């Protein structure tokens, strides 16, 4: 009997080891996701707990009144521009830190600090720095006589076209500050993996530093760069913290993002079905880069 | 592995190199400087426009006053408890799962890896409404179990894949085979061979999930609504919501400094492991 038990354990060991984590994911991630899709076909609200089946009306309503199109535009703009700015910046920093000069470990640690800072802390400090009345940036600009009255970086509603407005641009700036460390660390690791022989051969052939960077470094870190950018584009599209903690979508929805809208629709307006609908739309959009990500990393993970 | 790229290092290039790095450091670290400076400014300094770059006097009293202004001790205790427990749960779950996925070949393996990969990409907001109701129906709102579940399930996919990469590259299969011949069963192999060798990877997983839980805001804000259960992130958010930017901001910034320190300490102690663990999956070498 004991031997039988032991063989049963050893035979299915792979499953026993995997089961707890897999079960958690199925129960707490997969099931609620499916449930969100189901909820999006009902009109469940605070005072209508059971809800009635209304088919696709949540979806058609959102697209008819156009409010969601604006949020999708905002979210795409926010995530794409954040990455477009953070990528070359972190590429440049990691290139600097890849040089064999003293202090690279020190600077790498220093630059990683924003990444481990609590988002609540980061957002409130930035909010303070970018405020109208107490901002050191405004103070500096006023002292230098570059501006006549303080700018409300996160509250300006006078200038802007769609997602291109002052609060959005400064929100992206704050976001770049918090996401560049992750990208830098990935790029740096990829760069350190390149054999020095290649660079030496290039030096012998008379290639300059710029040439080496674009003809050797960039192509060789491309696989890592591709994965990092895909992952970041998904994470930034899904991002809740920066959007909620910094501006909460305001002023006038100018910086409102889809994730923030799901939260406010669900937990401030108590329109659960409509919140679920937005989250499903988010998932459908993010599915495109997700499939690309799974296809590229999957090969490696499966072997 | 240190690589010399044969960059000619003239004096001018060295100066330029450090000048750029210093400039970037100033920009990256300015918010921390401002946070600290504000936390020690006396009230009359806060209202000054333009604000002064250095405080006129060091007001350390803010760091004393904050403990009685908000229930900071309870917030800190809660944050620490949630972070520690979800780290433990996450390490156990992802450690076992990663071992299974890296060492065994079985029918559902591909599908399971797909599930982990997908969970890593799903927006948290996709599950937030149903998850809230699940917790509500099970009576897990405002409980330690509820928040620890919310934290660990979102860390598990990333940690499992990170550890899987580590285990696959770190442990020679031959070592396990000889252990099997010596009469070790699968669980014994896991604890006696896989676990000790993969310790650096496990440390990386632990730091990652600890920082994630310590910093988290969204899940805590919906699951923990009673003040006795709130972690520091939610407590701070409540506090700034009540006060806004006023002289009380210096008290708030003192809290911010206190909230940032644990993250920095944990990160500082083991950042090498964390960085290696993070990059090992993406960079093979």
Q: How far is CA A116 from the centre of its chain?
A: 15
ipTM of the complex: 0.88
More confident: B168 or B14? B14
Average pLDDT value for residue range B146-159: 92
Predicted confidence (pLDDT) at residue A25 exceeds the cutoff of 70: yes
Confidence at B285, pLDDT banded by 50, 70, 90: very low
Structural domains in chain A, CATH included, are 89-190+222-271+278-303 (1.10.3720.10)
Residues 6+ apart with CB under 8 A from B229: B78, B142, B143, B144, B147
Residue-level pLDDT at A4: 66
Q: Do A286 and B249 touch (CB under 8 A)?
A: no
As a whole number, mean pLDDT of residues B109-126 equals 89
Looking at per-residue confidence, does B54 or A37 come out higher? A37
List of chain A residues whose C-beta atoms are within 8 Å of the C-beta of residue B100: 13-18
Give the model's pLDDT for residue A284.
94
pLDDT mean over B228-234:
93
What pLDDT was estimated at residue B223?
Answer: 93
Neighbours of B187 (CB within 10 A): 14
CB contact under 8 A, A283 and B122: yes
Least confident of A207-211, B114-118, B175-179: B175-179
- If one counts every other C-beta atom within 10 angstroms of the C-beta of residue A294, the result is 18
What is the pLDDT at residue B2?
Answer: 42
Closest residue on chain B to A239 (Cα): B123
Looking at chain A, the whole-number percentage of residues with pLDDT higher than 70 is 96
DSSP one-letter string for chain A: -HHHHHHHHHHTHHHHHHHHHHHHHIIIIIHHHHHHHHHTTB--BTTBSS--B-TTHHHHHHHHHSHHHHHHHHHHHHHHHHHHHHHHHHHHHHHHHHSS-TTHHHHHHHHHHHHHS-HHHHHHHHHHHT-SSS-HHHHHHHHTTS-SS---TTT--SSEETTEEHHHHHHHHHHHHHHHHHHHHHHHHHHHTS-HHHHHHHHHTT--HHHHIIIIIHHHHHHHHHHHHHHHHHHHHH--HHIIIIITT-STTTT--HHHHHHHHHHTS--HHHHHHHHHHHHHHHHHHHHHHHHHHHHHHH-
pLDDT at B274: 82
Chain A residues 172-201 with a CB less than 8 Å from chain B: 177, 182, 185-186, 189-190, 192-196, 199-200
Q: Supply the pLDDT for residue B40.
A: 87
Q: Which residues in chain A (153-172) have CB-CB distances under 8 A to chain B?
A: none
Q: Nearest 5°: phi and psi at A53?
A: -70, 125
Mean pLDDT for B144-172 is 86
**Cβ of B131 and A32 within 8 Å?**
yes
All residues of chain B having their beta carbon less than 8 Å from the beta carbon of residue A121 are 35, 236, 256, 259-260
Q: Tell me which CATH code domain B64-282 carries.
A: 1.10.3720.10
Q: Return the closest-CA partner of residue A253 out of A157, A133, A169.
A: A157
Using the Cβ of A237 and the Cβ atoms of chain B, whether some distance falls under 8 Å is answered with: yes
The average confidence (pLDDT) of chain A is 88
- Read off the pLDDT of each residue in A77-96 and give the average, rounded to a whole number: 94
Is residue A240 very low, low, confident or very high in pLDDT (cuts 50, 70, 90)?
very high
Tell me the domain boundaries of chain B: 11-61, 64-282
Contact residues, chain B, for A142 at CB < 8 Å: 49-50
Instruction: Say if residue A2's pLDDT is above 80.
Output: no
Question: CB-based burial of residue B163 (10 Å sphere; 0-12 exposed, 13-18 middle, 19+ buried)?
Answer: buried
Q: What angle do CA A300, A95, A102 make, to 5 degrees?
A: 115
Bridge partners of A160, per DSSP, are A165
Which chain B residues are closer than 8 Å to A112 by Cβ?
267, 271, 275
Q: How far apart are CA B255 and CA B236, in angstroms?
A: 8
Q: Does A222 touch chain B (CB under 8 A)?
A: no
Give A288 or A132, the one with higher predicted confidence.
Answer: A288
pLDDT in tens, A255-265: 899 999 999 99
Does the distance separating the beta carbons of B7 and A209 come in below 8 Å? yes
d(CA A125, CA B249): 10
Residue from the list A122, A189, A237 with its beta carbon closest to the beta carbon of B283: A189
pLDDT at residue B171 in the model:
66
CB pairs under 8 A between A and B: 318
Distance separating alpha carbons of residues B235 and B145, to the nearest angstrom: 19
Chain B residue numbers with beta carbons less than 8 Å from the beta carbon of A10 are 185-186
pLDDT at position A159 over 90:
no
For residue B4, what pLDDT band results from cuts at 50, 70 and 90? very low
pLDDT for the residue numbered A83 = 96
What's the pLDDT at A260? 94
Beta-carbon contacts of B76 under 8 Å, excluding residues fewer than 6 positions away, are B232, B258
Q: How far apart are CA B259 and CA B239, in angstroms?
A: 13
Tokens of B90: 């996450």
pLDDT digits 0-9 by tens, A118-152: 999 999 899 888 887 778 888 888 888 888 788 88
What is the nearest CA distance from A78 to chain B, expressed in angstroms?
A: 16
Mean pLDDT of A22-48: 90
Name the more confident of A173 and B274.
A173
The residue of chain B nearest to residue A224, with distances taken between CA atoms, is B282
Q: Count Cβ atoms below 10 Å from residue B43 Cβ, excluding itself.
A: 14
Local confidence band at B126 (pLDDT 50, 70, 90 cut-offs): very high
* Tens-place pLDDT, residues B180-216: 766 777 777 777 777 887 888 888 889 889 999 999 9
Positive or negative torsion for Cα B148, B150, B153, B159 = negative
**Look-up of token digits 């659960």:** A272
Residue A247's pLDDT is: 87
Residue A303 has a pLDDT of 63
Average pLDDT of span A174-201: 90
Q: What is the pLDDT of residue B282?
A: 59
């Amino acid at each position: 009997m004991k031997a039988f038990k032991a063989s049963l354990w050893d035979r299915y060991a792979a499953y026993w080891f995997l089961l707890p984590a897999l079960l958690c994911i199925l129960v707490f991630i997969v099931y609620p996701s499916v449930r969100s899709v189901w909820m999006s076909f009902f009109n469940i609200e605070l005072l209508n707990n059971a809800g009635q089946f209304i088919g696709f009306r949540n979806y058609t309503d959102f697209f008819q009144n156009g409010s969601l199109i604006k949020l999708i535009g905002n979210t795409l703009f926010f995530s794409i521009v954040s990455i477009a700015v953070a990528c070359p910046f972190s590429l440049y920093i990691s290139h600097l830190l890849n040089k064999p000069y003293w202090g690279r470990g020190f600077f790498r640690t220093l630059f990683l600090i924003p990444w481990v800072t609590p988002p609540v802390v980061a957002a409130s400090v930035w909010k303070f720095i970018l405020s109208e009345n107490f901002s050191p940036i405004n103070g500096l600009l006023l002292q230098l006589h570059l501006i006549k009255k303080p700018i409300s970086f996160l509250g300006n509603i006078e200038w802007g076209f769609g997602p291109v407005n002052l609060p959005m641009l400064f929100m992206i700036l704050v976001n770049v500050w918090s996401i560049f460390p992750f990208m830098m660390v990935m790029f740096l690791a990829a760069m350190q993996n390149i054999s020095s022989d290649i660079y030496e051969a290039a030096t012998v052939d008379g290639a300059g530093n710029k040439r080496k960077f674009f003809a050797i470094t960039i192509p060789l870190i491309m696989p890592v760069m591709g994965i990092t950018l895909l992952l970041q584009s998904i994470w930034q599209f899904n991002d809740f913290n920066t959007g909620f903690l910094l501006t909460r979508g305001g002023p006038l929805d100018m910086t409102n993002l889809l994730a923030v809208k799901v939260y406010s629709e669900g937990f401030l307006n108590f329109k659960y079905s409509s919140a679920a609908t937005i989250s499903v739309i988010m998932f459908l959009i993010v599915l495109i880069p997700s499939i690309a990500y799974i296809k590229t990393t999957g090969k490696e993970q499966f072997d | 592995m240190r690589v010399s790229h044969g960059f000619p290092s003239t004096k001018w290039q060295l100066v330029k190199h450090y000048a750029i790095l210093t400039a970037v450091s100033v920009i990256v670290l300015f918010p921390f400087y401002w946070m600290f400076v504000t936390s020690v400014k006396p009230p009359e300094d806060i209202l000054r426009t333009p604000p002064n770059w250095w405080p006129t006097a060091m007001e350390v009293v803010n760091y004393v006053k904050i403990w009685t202004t908000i229930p900071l001790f309870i917030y800190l205790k809660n944050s620490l408890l949630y972070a520690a427990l979800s780290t433990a749960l996450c390490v156990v779950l992802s450690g076992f799962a990663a071992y299974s996925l890296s060492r065994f070949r079985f029918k559902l393996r591909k599908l399971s890896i797909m599930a982990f990969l997908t969970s890593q990409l799903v927006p948290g907001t996709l599950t937030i409404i149903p998850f809230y109701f699940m917790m509500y129906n099970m009576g897990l709102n405002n409980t330690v179990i509820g928040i620890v579940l919310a934290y660990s399930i979102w860390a598990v996919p990333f940690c499992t894949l990170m550890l899987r990469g580590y285990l696959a590259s770190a442990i020679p299969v031959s070592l396990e085979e000889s252990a099997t011949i010596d009469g070790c069963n699968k669980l014994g192999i896991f604890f006696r061979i896989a676990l000790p060798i993969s310790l650096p990877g496990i440390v990386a997983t632990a730091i990652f999930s600890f920082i994630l839980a310590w910093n988290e805001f969204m899940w805590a804000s919906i699951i923990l609504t009673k003040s006795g259960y709130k972690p520091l992130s939610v407590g701070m958010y409540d506090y700034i919501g009540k006060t806004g930017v006023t002289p009380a901001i210096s008290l708030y910034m003192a809290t911010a400094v206190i909230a940032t320190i644990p993250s920095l300490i944990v990160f500082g102690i083991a950042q090498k492991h964390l960085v290696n663990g993070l990059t090992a999956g993406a960079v093979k070498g």
